[in-house]
A and B are shown apart, each in its own frame.
Chain A
């Protein structure tokens, strides 16, 4: 079974802090994704990566950056956390970009105070 793990289920940070959210997949997938999920807005794509060191902006990249130094690991970085970044963050991976199923991690609920 594909497994996607995220470093924390719950995280509380203060405004202005630098925040790292880590995601690891164990299926040698080429593509990894970061979403945020907010009530009434569904899942919105922040960034995705189709190869090591490659990244593409999604629909809402402002205020975020990403890092993919190894194939299995995709990090989401909030350089200076703000209260409007309080959300559920979901990581996903897939082998292909279009046809293949995305496998999701359990999510990290981030609260920025």
Chain B
């Protein structure tokens, strides 16, 4: 069985602060894919990033960055200089062949 843990249920930060959302996963598969999705108040999940299990390079996209560490089974997401528009629920997900598991989500509130 595979599992995704997002231990932070809710986080509040003041605008312009940096924030890291944690994601820890468990799987026995050697080939798998990790995803982050954003769910704004409107409800529709929006894809942010995908990583495969063989690529541990960290990635930066504007104010967003992701840190993938196989040794600790973690795929953490950092928002630099947070903005009010970043307020949303963020989900980490793990996919391997015919299996997909989402974490329980982290609700981020950015206070102006």
B33 within 8 A of A: yes
Q: Are B97 and A98 in contact (CB under 8 A)?
A: yes
Task: Give the interface centre of A43, A45, A106 by most chain B CB atoms within 10 Å.
Answer: A43
Q: Are B45 and A90 in contact (CB under 8 A)?
A: yes
User: What's the nearest-Cβ distance from chain B to residue A112, in Å?
Assistant: 19
B70 within 8 A of A: no
Q: How many residues of A contact B (CB 8 A)?
A: 24
User: What's the nearest-Cβ distance from chain B to residue A45, in Å?
Assistant: 6
Bound CA–CA A105/B98 (angstroms):
20
A-B contacts at CB below 8 angstroms, number: 54
Q: How many residues of B contact A (CB 8 A)?
A: 27
Contact for B104 among A40, A50, A104, A105, CB less than 8 A: A40
Contact string, B27-42, partner A, CB cutoff 8 A, digits 1/0? 0000111010100001
B-contacting residues, A71-107, CB 8 Å: 88, 90, 92, 97-99, 101-107
A99-B52 contact, Cβ under 8 Å, with A43-B91, A104-B45, A106-B43: yes
The residues of B that contact A35 with a CB separation of less than 8 Å are 102
A99-B33 contact, Cβ under 8 Å, with A104-B44, A105-B44, A106-B43: yes
**Interface residue ranges, A against B (CB under 8 Å):** 33, 35, 40-45, 48, 50, 56, 88, 90, 92, 97-99, 101-107
